[in-house]
């Protein structure tokens, strides 16, 4: 590459909503700083994003970045098959989907990357890929590209997976007689209880497809040239410092759409219901927003307790009831008659623009599965959380929210949810006096995020440093 030439990165997003959102916004962030980005989406994700009513009216169905390109950013776009038909129900057949990503996707993506590398002007010099992929190191080496691993979750989760061998060696993972005492030997993690590990680190069977993905992905990520992480230095200082002793790790978050985001694109996989009108009619801070993200499932019995708990609490609520929340085969899981009983006190919708709903002044709390994007978005809008983690990183995220930052409450520790507990916890979070400590705490954490994004803030400085290092390596 000649002096002054722009870096050109291929960016490959993991095909799940919680990964596509930060990847798209990372692409925009990098392009705004002068990168040329060639973004690769799977055909299935592309189909979901572009087949919604809202996007088919602008005539740009084939390119999700068309609007930001018009504003001068050089983001190119292409799609690739994940190995399964576009119409395949990936939520219902999760294991098959993961197996396809593990065994089939790499061949498809390699073909596409080879074509781009051969034909692109200016030449491609970086491969930015989600840390959960198992092939980026191999392909980066083959095509002589810098390997940038993009971690969309908390640094704490990264370090737990990074140190899986240490957990195994100490008997906290992958053995029959698992230790139940506190884990205090992971560099940069003062102490963590085994119940707060990610679900994959708590399972007895450690040979699943997801485990294979995690082992291979972290073996690969350990040799990456850089890791970009959607977190904030001030939120996880010790963990990040310890990681930086091992790997070039840059905290550049929060990578979320904010009111200050000048350029943005729609990344929703489903049509968004507009609840602005309903929210406008409710008092400030009076509505609980309930959502369990894009992928997790809730058991039918928990859902029924939740619905009855919400009813008993007498609090207003908006509930995102994804059609596959319980199962793709149970599209109507609510207790009979509850919608009528709730009346105007509750709104049930299949999907929404969460960032927009959380930013509405009527929202006063968020009952969440503790997905990492949801947590960052909630902090950004200063909405305290009621935590009900379901799987993967969500248990560890709950520890950060409830124990470390004290910006939320744990919904229930018991295996079986109970409507009385649900209604009591909702009231605790939403009532003026009992919820005050969480609102004060989240205000302070929001301040950290805001500062990190200022010109002299940690995330901006880290991004500058990353950019300089990339430039230095590709001259």
Taking CB under 6 A as the criterion, the residue among 91, 198, 374, 462 binding ligand UDP is 374
Q: Are 325 and 292 in contact (CB under 8 A)?
A: yes
The one-character DSSP state at 400 is I
**Contacts to ligand UDP from residues 265-324, by CB under 6 A:** 268, 291, 293-296, 320
Cα 289 → chain centroid: 18
Taking CB under 6 A as the criterion, the residue among 254, 346, 371, 457 binding ligand UDP is 371
Least spacing, CB of residue 194 vs ligand UDP, in Å: 22
Q: Closer to ligand UDP at the Cβ: 7 or 257?
A: 257
Q: Closer to ligand UDP at the Cβ: 250 or 295?
A: 295
**Contacts to ligand UDP from residues 314-353, by CB under 6 A:** 320, 351-353
Taking CB under 6 A as the criterion, the residue among 200, 316, 366, 372 binding ligand UDP is 372
Helix-helix angle 155-162:209-221, to 10 degrees: 100
Residues 19-58, mask of contacts with ligand UDP (x by CB under 6 A)? --x-------------------------------------
Q: Closer to ligand UDP at the Cβ: 186 or 256?
A: 256
Least spacing, CB of residue 320 vs ligand UDP, in Å: 4
Least spacing, CB of residue 461 vs ligand UDP, in Å: 25
Taking CB under 6 A as the criterion, the residue among 220, 225, 236, 377 binding ligand UDP is 377
Q: List the structure tokens of 212.
A: 């294979």
Return the number of other C-beta atoms located less than 10 Å from residue 327's C-beta.
15
Strands 385-387, 363-368: parallel, antiparallel or unpaired by DSSP? parallel
Burial of 300 (0-12, 13-18, 19+ CB in 10 A): middle
Cα 158 → chain centroid: 13
**Contacts to ligand UDP from residues 229-268, by CB under 6 A:** 268
Least spacing, CB of residue 20 vs ligand UDP, in Å: 9
Least spacing, CB of residue 441 vs ligand UDP, in Å: 20
Sign for the CA dihedral angle at 426, 428, 429, 433 comes to: positive
Q: Under rule CB under 6 A, how many of the chain's residues touch ligand UDP?
A: 21
Q: Closer to ligand UDP at the Cβ: 151 or 470?
A: 151
Q: How far is CA 447 from CA 158, 230, 381, 453, 454, in A?
A: 24, 17, 11, 10, 11
> Should residue 101 be labelled a site residue for ligand UDP when binding is judged by CB under 6 A?
no
**Contacts to ligand UDP from residues 351-370, by CB under 6 A:** 351-355
**DSSP for 34-48, written as a single string:** T-EEEEEEEHHHHHH
Least spacing, CB of residue 13 vs ligand UDP, in Å: 12
The one-character DSSP state at 335 is P
Taking CB under 6 A as the criterion, the residue among 17, 198, 239, 459 binding ligand UDP is 17
Least spacing, CB of residue 275 vs ligand UDP, in Å: 10
The one-character DSSP state at 324 is T
Q: Closer to ligand UDP at the Cβ: 17 or 79?
A: 17
Q: Closer to ligand UDP at the Cβ: 305 or 393?
A: 393
Q: Are 362 and 283 in contact (CB under 8 A)?
A: yes
Least spacing, CB of residue 64 vs ligand UDP, in Å: 15
> Should residue 373 be labelled a site residue for ligand UDP when binding is judged by CB under 6 A?
yes
Sheet containing 8-12: give its strands across.
Answer: 75-80, 36-42, 8-12, 126-130, 146-151, 226-229, 249-251
Burial of 71 (0-12, 13-18, 19+ CB in 10 A): exposed
Which range in 15-23, 64-72, 113-121, 167-175 contacts ligand UDP by CB under 6 A? Answer: 15-23
Least spacing, CB of residue 144 vs ligand UDP, in Å: 33
Least spacing, CB of residue 186 vs ligand UDP, in Å: 23
Taking CB under 6 A as the criterion, the residue among 18, 174, 254, 435 binding ligand UDP is 18
Cα separation of 475 and 472, whole Å?
6
Q: Are 408 and 385 in contact (CB under 8 A)?
A: yes
* Residues facing 368 on adjacent strands: 291, 387
Q: Closer to ligand UDP at the Cβ: 312 or 328?
A: 328
Least spacing, CB of residue 34 vs ligand UDP, in Å: 26
* Residues facing 146 on adjacent strands: 126
Cis geometry, peptide bond prior to residue 373 (ω within 30 degrees of 0):
no
* Residues facing 39 on adjacent strands: 11, 77
Q: List the structure tokens of 196.
A: 């707060």
Q: List the structure tokens of 296.
A: 């997790």
Binding site for ligand UDP (CB under 6 A): 16-18, 21, 268, 291, 293-296, 320, 351-355, 371-374, 377
């Amino acid at each position: 590459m000649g002096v002054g030439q722009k870096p050109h990165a291929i960016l490959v997003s993991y095909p799940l909503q919680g990964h596509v959102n930060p990847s798209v916004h990372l692409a925009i962030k990098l392009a705004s700083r002068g990168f040329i980005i060639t973004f690769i989406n799977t055909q299935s994700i592309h189909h979901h994003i572009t087949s919604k009513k809202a996007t088919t009216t602008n005539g740009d169905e084939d390119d999700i970045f068309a609007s930001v390109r018009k504003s001068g950013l050089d983001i190119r776009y292409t799609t690739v098959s994940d190995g399964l038909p576009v119409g395949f129900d990936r939520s219902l057949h999760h294991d098959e989907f993961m197996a396809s990503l593990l065994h089939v996707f790499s061949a498809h993506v390699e073909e596409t990357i080879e074509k781009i590398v051969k034909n692109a002007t200016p030449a491609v010099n970086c491969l930015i890929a989600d840390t959960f992929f198992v092939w980026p190191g191999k392909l980066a080496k083959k095509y002589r590209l810098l390997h940038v691993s993009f971690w969309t979750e908390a640094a704490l989760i990264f370090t737990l997976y990074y140190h899986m061998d240490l957990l195994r060696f100490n008997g906290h993972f992958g053995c029959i007689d698992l230790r139940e005492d506190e884990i205090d030997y992971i560099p940069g993690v003062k102490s963590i209880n085994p119940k707060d590990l990610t679900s994959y680190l708590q399972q007895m069977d450690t040979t699943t497809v997801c485990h294979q993905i995690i082992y291979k992905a972290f073996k690969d990520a350990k040799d990456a040239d850089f890791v970009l992480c959607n977190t904030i230095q001030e939120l996880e200082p010790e963990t990040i410092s310890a990681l930086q002793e091992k790997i070039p790790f840059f905290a550049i978050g929060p990578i979320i759409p904010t009111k200050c985001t000048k350029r943005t694109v729609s990344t929703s996989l489903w049509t968004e219901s507009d609840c602005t009108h309903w929210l406008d009619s409710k008092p400030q801070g009076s509505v609980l927003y309930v959502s369990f993200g894009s992928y997790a499932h809730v058991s039918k019995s928990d859902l029924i307790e939740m619905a009855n708990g919400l009813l008993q609490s007498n609090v207003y609520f908006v509930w995102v009831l994804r059609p596959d929340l319980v199962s793709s085969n149970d599209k109507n899981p609510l207790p009979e008659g509850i919608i009528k009983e709730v009346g105007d006190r509750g709104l049930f919708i299949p999907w929404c623009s969460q960032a927009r709903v959380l930013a509405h002044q009527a929202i006063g709390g968020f009952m969440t599965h503790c997905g990492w994007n949801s947590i960052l978005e909630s902090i950004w809008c200063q909405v305290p959380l009621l935590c009900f983690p379901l799987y993967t990183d969500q248990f560890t995220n709950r520890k950060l929210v409830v124990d470390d930052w004290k910006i939320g409450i744990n919904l229930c520790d018991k295996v079986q949810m109970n409507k009385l507990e649900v209604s009591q916890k909702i009231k605790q979070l939403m009532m003026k006096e009992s919820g005050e400590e969480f609102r004060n705490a989240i205000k302070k954490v929001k301040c950290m995020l805001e500062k990190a994004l200022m010109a002299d803030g940690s995330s901006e400085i880290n991004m500058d440093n990353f950019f300089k290092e990339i430039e230095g390596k590709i001259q």
